[in-house]
Amino acid sequence: MSTVGNSTNIFWHECPVGKVDRQKLLNQQGCVVWITGLSGSGKSTLACSLGRTLHSRGKLSYVLDGDNLRHGLNKNLGFSPEDRTENIRRVGEVAKLFADAGLICIASLISPYCKDRDACRALLPENFFEVFLNMPLELCEERDPKGLYKLARAGKIKGFTGIDDPYEPPSNCEIEITQKDGICPTPNEMAGQVVSYLEDKGYLEAQ
């Protein structure tokens, strides 16, 4: 019997089919690919391209997109530091469940604070891979696919990451994607870099 947070008198129930069994069924290993970066850096583009590439190779993945999750699971959260932390905590717990199910979970969120990303990593330290889309603010603001930078610069959005709220870059990410000679890699090139990493680590086959 345990007490976890505000939950008391609870019990962990083990099931006969475990993670290893599910991974053998899928012929892959569950993990979390956590994509972080500024708004407009290409996180959702990479996530979708990565999911498509994995699917074409017969590998099961699922994308947890930050904006999509705010339509449901996190629709009661705003963008205060406290709400951002809770947003990332919830996504981290869901990602952990997907990884336990044997899926390659692709989480795509700005996730601006190091402590929140590190807390997610701590949930499954051996199966968490951080991908930093290190694109300059000027490029992201030039792209501005959702028109949010323009609104933030006009003072119509407060607490916008990169403008009046900080983005803390990772210090120990597994993969960093940048421009090369001022040119951004294509979505397929970015996805290929991540897939190669997963393949080298043995995640595209069961243990």
Residues with catalytic roles: 111
Place of tokens 């990602």: 95
3-state secondary structure 18-64: CHHHHHHHHCCCCEEEEEECCCCCCHHHHHHHHHHHHHHCCCCEEEE
